C-alpha cells in the first residue's frame, strides 16, 4: 500500500478472502471465532496519513476517530493515502490485513495477549507500552517490529500467518523463536477456551 496508489474494493475483497483462508488454516477462523466480528471497511475517500498501529484498527479510539465514526475492533482500508510518515511505507495489502488481524486478535482476546504476563517476557514490554524495546536486530522479524511491543507482535503474526505457522529456516534467534512460539501457544489457548465455553 503506497502513497497515492489506489486500492480498489475488489482488491480489498480478494485480499480479505485470502487472509481469512489463512486464518482458517492456522485455526482462528470458525463460526464462533470473535475475529469474525471484525468488519473490514473499505472507504473511498482519502486520509491524510496512514493512521498508526499502522493503523486501521484504532486500539484506543481518539475523540477525532469517534467523531469520524471509526470504532475500535474493525479494520479500515482507505482507498488511498495522501502522505506517509517515516516507516509507514507498508507492504502488500494482504500483509497489512495480516498485521491488522493481529491487533484485532488482541482486541477481542485481551486475556491471552494484552493481559498475559507471558507477553511482556517475550516481547520485552507490555502490549500497550509506547517505548521501543532494545533487542538485537535478529530478534525482530521486520524493521517495523522494532517500534513498540504491539507492533512487534503484529509483525510477527503477519509473517506467521503468511507462512501458515511454519517457522522460516532462517530464523535462528532464540528471542524471535519465543515470539513465534507465543503465537502458537496463544492460538491453542483461544481454541481450548472456546471449546470449553461451548460445552
Cβ nearer to Zn ion, comparing 162 with 194:
162
Where do runs of H (alpha helix) occur along the chain?
A: 9-25, 63-68, 93-108, 117-123, 149-162, 174-198
Q: Among candidates 175, 190, 179, which has minimal Cα distance to 152?
A: 179
Beta strand spans in 33-74 (E)? 40-43, 47-49
**53: three-class secondary structure by DSSP:** coil
Nine cell digits for residue 31: 463460526
End-to-end C-alpha distance for the chain, whole angstroms = 43
- Least gap, CB of 121 to Zn ion (angstroms): 21
Q: Rounded to the nearest 5 degrees, what angle is found at the Cα of 55, between the Cα atoms of 31 and 85?
A: 160
User: What minimum distance in Å lies between the beta carbon of 55 and Zn ion?
Assistant: 6
Alpha-carbon dihedral angle through residues 46, 47, 50, 53, given to the nearest 10 degrees: -120
When the beta carbons of 22 and 151 are compared against Zn ion, the nearer one is 151
Give me the least distance between CB of 151 and Zn ion, in Å please.
Answer: 5
Selected binder of Zn ion within 154, 158, 187, 190 (CB under 5 A): 154
**Sole window of 10-18, 54-62, 180-188, 189-197 interacting with Zn ion (rule: CB under 5 A):** 54-62
Q: How far is the CB of 155 from Zn ion (least distance, A)?
A: 8
- Any contact of residue 158 with Zn ion (CB under 5 A)? no
Chain center to CA of 154 = 4
- Cell matching residue 133: 524495546
Q: Kindly tell me which residue out of 23, 40, 50, 54 binds Zn ion, with binding defined by CB under 5 A.
A: 54
Query: Taking the complex as a whole, how short is the minimal distance between the CB of residue 195 and Zn ion, in angstroms?
Result: 29
**Does residue 105 bind Zn ion (CB under 5 A)?**
no
Which CB sits closer to Zn ion, 132 or 191?
A: 132
Q: Which is nearer to Zn ion, 16 or 147 (CB)?
A: 147
Residue placing its CB nearer to Zn ion in the complex, 122 or 172: 122
Under a CB-based contact definition with an 8 Å cutoff, are residues 148 and 125 in contact? yes
Site membership for Zn ion, residue 53 (CB under 5 A): yes
Interface residues with Zn ion (CB under 5 A) are: 53-54, 151, 154
Amino acid at each position: 500500500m503506497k502513497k497515492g496508489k489506489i486500492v480498489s474494493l475488489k482488491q480489498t475483497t480478494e485480499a480479505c478472502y485470502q487472509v481469512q483462508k489463512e486464518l482458517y488454516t492456522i485455526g482462528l477462523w470458525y463460526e464462533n471465532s470473535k475475529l469474525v466480528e471484525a468488519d473490514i471497511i473499505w472507504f473511498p475517500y482519502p486520509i491524510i496519513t496512514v493512521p498508526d498501529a499502522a493503523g486501521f484498527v484504532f486500539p484506543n479510539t481518539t475523540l477525532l476517530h469517534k467523531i469520524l465514526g471509526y470504532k475500535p475492533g474493525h479494520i479500515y482500508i482507505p482507498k488511498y493515502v495522501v502522505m506517509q510518515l517515516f516507516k509507514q511505507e507498508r507492504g502488500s495489502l494482504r500483509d497489512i490485513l495480516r498485521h491488522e488481524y493481529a491487533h484485532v486478535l488482541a482486541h477481542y482476546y485481551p486475556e491471552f495477549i494484552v493481559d498475559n504476563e507471558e507477553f511482556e517476557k517475550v516481547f520485552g514490554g507490555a502490549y500497550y507500552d509506547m517505548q521501543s524495546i532494545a533487542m538485537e536486530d535478529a530478534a525482530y522479524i521486520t524493521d517495523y517490529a522494532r517500534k513498540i511491543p504491539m507492533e512487534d507482535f503484529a509483525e510477527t503474526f503477519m509473517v506467521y500467518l503468511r507462512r501458515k505457522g511454519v517457522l522460516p529456516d532462517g530464523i535462528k534467534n532464540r528471542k524471535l523463536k519465543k515470539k513465534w512460539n507465543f503465537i502458537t501457544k496463544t492460538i491453542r489457548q483461544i481454541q481450548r477456551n472456546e471449546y470449553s465455553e461451548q460445552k
